[in-house]
Structure 1
Amino acid sequence: MILYIAEKPSLARAIAAALPGPQKKQEGCIWLPNGDCISWCIGHLLEQAEPHIYNPAFKTWQLDHLPIIPSDWQWQEKANTKKQLGILKKLIKQATQLVHAGDPDREGQLLVDEVLHYAKVPAQKLQQTQRVLISDLTPVAVKKSLQQLKSNAEFAALSRSALARARADWLFGLNLTRAYTIRGRQAGYQGVLSIGRVQTPVLGLVVARDTERENFVAKNYYQVWAQITTPENQHFQAKWLPSDACRPYMDEEGRVLNRALAKNVASRIENQPALVSQADYKQKKQPPPLPYNLSSLQIDAAKIFAMSAQQVLDTCQALYERHQIITYPRSDCRYLPTLQHRDAKAIINALSKGSEALAKSTKNANSNLKSKAWNDKQVTAHHAIIPTSQAHKAASLNKTESQIFGLIARQYLMQFYPDYQYLSTLIQLDIAGGKFEAKGSTPVALGWRSLLPTKKKSDHEEEQEQLPNLKKGDSLWCDQGIIRDKVTTPPAAFTDATLLAAMTGISRFVSDKSIKAILKETDGLGTDATRAGIIEILFKREFLIRQGKQIHASQTGRAFADTLPSQLVTPDMTAQWEAQLNAMSLGESRYQDFMAGLTDNLTDLLTQSKSVSTASLQHLPAPKRNPFKKRSATRKRSTKSKAKKPA
């Protein structure tokens, strides 16, 4: 008997739909006519054991208990899924062959592996366990995946790295949360001061931005523009490029701070000849942007529809599981396997039947085109999020689902449109001894950009669409010099879109070159699958607040961040963790070395927590909910989240 173990019921149903009937449904499983069986987890069926399981005394939070470091790690059965775990354990025992069908990522690998180990599967049977990687729940795609089984042993290193992350998060979060919560209570604050390897640096990021905005001092600066006329009576503007002699009157960004200087330049160039010193015209092409991964989709959805990261993730899960209209949504990859290109024609055809807007977008799509998105070397355990052959169901989606699916479909269709072509122009002028410059970008062929809404050109954009055809040595005329009064602005407050972008591109906020390099390689703070949950935790803990579209640190969040050592509120430590975990997943580093280093660092941080000043935690507003009140089992069941645990 072959037993397929899916990560969740929806995946089990998709596997069943791809296998022969008639099938018999029983509680917790589906039997196939040949005696094989499909069962499922419901997310994690097991969790790291609570501290009091190791020692009943740990039920009470006390500083002298810390650090709590288990010598023999234990799993704990989750109360609300205990029944399904029991069913699985019986089926695992009966099975002669096991097929691991967890989601194709680090967490999905561990989720089923932990059940197999907890069920004490014999070593030989464990070694023969196979792995199926399913990113598309349509029957055709699932059948194809079931024909490409791999040995589950190939993914042992990936599973170890996920286990190391889970245990490290437990050690780090539990010990430091207890330490700072107790210190907070001693100062009079009765809330939980939770710490996580990702959530705390994100809080630090928002606090730093708020502080920078509050301390910002606006400066006036000035630009000079020359109004130019050609002999053919064509008009354009060129911007003054201050010389080195003007440095004493400029800031570090090269902005002129002295209006008298700007006024002098403007008056000197008025009614003066202008000589073309350089005229470059280059035909350029821009390929279509890559299909979405989850983070890039969340960023665009926040910008366009003002959706939170969690809203986008929840909507994607519905599109993937319920409608089967998109591929696996928790992907961190923006590339596609070359074999997937064979499905392009069928997917485009399905999109043409989805809605009027989609039909219009598919009209000029050429399924024979192959963009740079198809690249096997860049595809990891999963590929970019794209529509499936069920895209014709788009007409039945609700408004939010339609908006998200529309973005995914448009990004996919762009791959079958030609490059955007434009003429890039750079003109430099000498006027009365000063250097001036005009830049232009003239569309030649819209290509994939024809799928985007028309962008309104801002009055402040310095790139002009049409510039005259000139050559070096041409004589023009400057009619007048125009002074534009400008004021420096503080960095913008974070929004859902920019906070996600900051988490994804966190290396921009780090000065240490070695850490910056690590963060570029590991793609930032958290993973595509966890970022939404991390942001939500910070709101639930009342560390972050919303003001319209803006995200700010609350009074409590700021006070808490001020209490913590810089190691906890900057991304450096998280970057080093991710680098080590990534190396572990590739079999390049050892679990034992990672855990040993982490426990040493944890001990140092706990020592610091005992001497840190808690003055900023006094007189804080009380949390809206009692953080120490235990919820009833009914309440727990009603608020159970389908999402995987965030870091």
Structure 2
Amino acid sequence: MTIKVFIAEKPSVAKAIINELGTVKKLNGAVLCKNNIYVTWCFGHLLEQAEPDAYLPEDIPVGKKGNKIWRVQDLPIFPQKWILQPKKDKGVKAQLKVIKDLLTKADIVVNAGDPDREGQLLVDEILEHFKYKKTVQRFLVSAQDSASIRKSLTKIEPNRKYEGMKLAALGRSRADWLLGMNLTRALTLKKALSGERTLIAVGRVQTPTLSLVAKRDQDIRNFKPIPFFTIKCTVSNGSTDFSASWIPKNGQSGLDEERRLIDGTAAKSLISRFQNQKTAKVLSFSKE
């Protein structure tokens, strides 16, 4: 009989799938369901990128903690063959062994990661880690209610259809590693040359975000109030009065980068021009 194994991204999704398939026997780290289907699960990413030490020469001296010391001459570090390692957690290692044992007897594996890039990658990387070569399918569901699970179980697709999602997540992961590991070491070592031993953490996301916050703080500190002009008038159709505000057109002179009118001469000229207008036409309106 064909053996099928579902690998869910997290226990809660696995439980929802098991509830629909029907439990036959509870195992350690997995559940055997009806029709010879096993359901197991991850806890997010069970594998992680190896540290730079895995890619550096073995003759580099080690520090007090047993790690290879940081040296400018070793930068930048560009892995020729990327290494994934199990996370240093007993529970993770035990769950990986459960998954490995199930893969050895599985005829079909179903990737039941979350319906996003990371969900695709975290199951695919386990299959690649254990060199699984048989049929792989994809189960996609965005909710864990019974109706959604049942519907998705009838729409299982080939996993290869979603390889692009995996590659996108893989690109993100490697970009994080390359920027974070190399620039953190480079800037920290540069700081050390001045006699100050301070860790300077750099990241693909955290660094530009920090830059936005720092720039905003700088703008607030250096803020200088600049007067600007708004032009309004009251218009009447004979029975109803309403207020109208002037909106500058493209190419209007006297504006700042936020399209505010800061030129007093231009403001007076516009006001004089509008005061000479006795009638106006409503070109469009919206009701809210």
Same fold (TM over 0.5): yes
- TM-aligned CA deviation for residue 172 of structure 1: 2.1
Query: Which amino acid in the other structure matches residue 102 of structure 2?
Result: L
Larger RCO (alpha carbons 8 Å, 6+ apart): 1
Deviation at 1:260, TM superposition (A): 11
User: Which aligned pairs between 1:203-352 and structure 2 lie closer than 5 A?
Assistant: 203-228=210-235, 231-232=238-239, 234-239=240-245, 250-252=254-256, 253=259, 255=261, 257-258=263-264, 262=268, 275-280=278-283, 282=284
- Do the aligned partners of residues 17 and 229 (structure 1) sit closer, same or farther apart at CA in structure 2, a change above 3 Å counting? same
**Match 2:166 to one of 141, 159, 181:** 159
Aligned counterparts of 1:242 and 1:175: Cα–Cα separation in 2: 48
**Following the alignment from structure 1 to structure 2, what is the Cα–Cα distance between the partners of residues 28 and 261?**
73
C-alpha separation in 2, matches of 1:31 and 1:100 = 17
Contact 1:18 1:140 in 2 (8 A): no
2:70 alignment counterpart = 61
Query: Residue 177 of structure 1 aligns with which residue?
Result: 184
1:160 CA displacement: 2.9
1:79-98 equivalences under 5 Å are 79-80=88-89, 81-98=92-109
Specify the SS of the correspondent of 1:156: helix
- 1:43 is aligned to 44
Change (3 A) 1:220 1:181: same
Per-residue CA deviations over 1:445-473 (Å, capped at 9, x if unaligned) read xxxxxxxxxxxxxxxxxxxxxxxxxxxxx
Check whether the contact 1:106–1:158 (CA below 8 A) recurs between aligned residues: yes
Unaligned runs of 5+ residues in structure 1 are 283-423, 425-440, 444-647
CA contact (8 A) 1:220 1:257 kept: no
Q: 1:59 to 1:259 in 2, by over 3 A?
A: same
Provide the C-alpha distance between the structure 2 equivalents of 1:37 and 1:276, rounded to a whole number of angstroms: 78
Q: Describe the shift of the 1:237–1:59 C-alpha distance in structure 2 as closer, same or farther (beyond 3 A).
A: same
- Mapped to 1, the partners of 2:82 and 2:105 lie a distance apart of 27
Q: Is residue 222–residue 259 contact of structure 1 (8 Å, CA) maintained in 2?
A: no
- 1:251 Cα deviation (Å)? 3.9
**% same residue:** 38
Q: CA deviation at 1:173?
A: 1.4
Tell me if the contact between 1:7 and 1:43 (Cα under 8 Å) persists in the aligned partners: yes
Counting only pairs closer than 5 Å after superposition, residues 152-551 of structure 1 correspond to structure 2 as 152-228=159-235, 231-232=238-239, 234-239=240-245, 250-252=254-256, 253=259, 255=261, 257-258=263-264, 262=268, 275-280=278-283, 282=284, 424=285, 441-443=286-288
- Determine helix, strand or coil for the equivalent of 1:196: coil
Segments of 5+ residues of structure 2 without an aligned counterpart are 61-66
State which of 17, 22, 37 in structure 2 corresponds to 1:15: 17
Counterpart position of 2:64: none
**What is the deviation of 1:227?**
4.3
Q: Is the 8 A contact 1:8 1:42 kept in 2?
A: yes
In structure 2, distance between residues paired with 1:137 and 1:260: 61
**Rounded Cα–Cα distance in structure 2 between residues aligned with 1:277 and 1:204:** 48
1:115 equivalent to 2:116? Answer no
Match of 1:32 in 2: 33
8 Å CA contact retained: 1:66, 1:175: yes
Write the letter of the residue equivalent to 2:117. Answer: R
Q: Is the 1:227–1:236 contact (alpha carbons within 8 Å) kept by the matching residues of 2?
A: yes
**Shift in Å, 1:74:** 1.7
- 1:143 offset after TM fit, Å? 1.4
- Measured in 1, the distance between the counterparts of 2:84 and 2:77 equals 16
Could you tell me how far apart the structure 1 residues matched to 2:246 and 2:42 are? 65
Q: Is the 8 A contact 1:256 1:262 kept in 2?
A: no
Aligned residues: 271
Q: Is the 1:100–1:112 Cα contact (8 Å) retained in structure 2?
A: yes
* Structure 1 stretch displaced more, 91-100 or 198-207: 198-207
Q: Secondary structure at the residue paired with 1:144?
A: helix
Cα separation, 2, equivalents of 1:54 and 1:264: 68
CA distance 1:264–1:189, change in 2 (3 Å) = same
**1:197 deviation in Å?**
2.2
Q: Which of the two has higher C-alpha Rg?
A: 2
Residue 129 (structure 1) aligned to one of 123, 136, 159? 136
Instruction: Work out the CA distance in 2 between the residues paired with 1:37 and 1:197.
Output: 38
Q: For residues 34 and 264 of structure 1, what CA distance do their matches in structure 2 show?
A: 80
* TM-score normalised by structure 1 residue count: 0.38
Q: Distance in 2 between matches of 1:242 and 1:153?
A: 53
What secondary structure is seen at the aligned counterpart in 1 of 2:281? strand
TM-score by length of 2: 0.81
Contact 2:46 2:96 in 1 (8 A): yes
Deviation at 1:92, TM superposition (A): 0.8
For 1:251 and 1:167, the matched residues in 2 are separated by 44
Task: Please tell me whether residue 139 in structure 1 is matched to residue 146 in structure 2.
Answer: yes
Distance 2:18 2:176 in 1: 35
Greater per-residue helix proportion:
1
Q: Does 1:101 align with 2:112?
A: yes
Report the Cα distance in structure 2 between the residues aligned to 1:205 and 1:86, rounded to whole angstroms.
44
Query: Measured at CA, do residues 240 and 197 of structure 1 come closer, stay the same or move farther in structure 2, by a change above 3 Å?
Result: closer
User: Cα gap change, 1:15/1:279 in structure 2, threshold over 3 Å: closer, same or farther?
Assistant: same
Distance in 1, Cα, partners of 2:195 & 2:184: 16
CA, structure 1 residues 169+225, in 2 after alignment: closer, same or farther (shift >3 Å)? closer
1:242 is displaced (CA, Å) by: 9.0
- CA 1:236–1:25: 2 relative to 1, 3 Å: same
The alpha-carbon distance between structure 1 residues 442 and 162, as it changes in their structure 2 partners (threshold 3 A), is closer
CA contact (8 A) 1:49 1:75 kept: yes
Residues 228 and 260 in structure 2, CA contact (< 8 A), matched pair in contact too = no
Partner AA of 1:276 in structure 2: T
Question: Any conservation in 1 of the 2:229–2:260 contact (CA below 8 Å)?
Answer: no
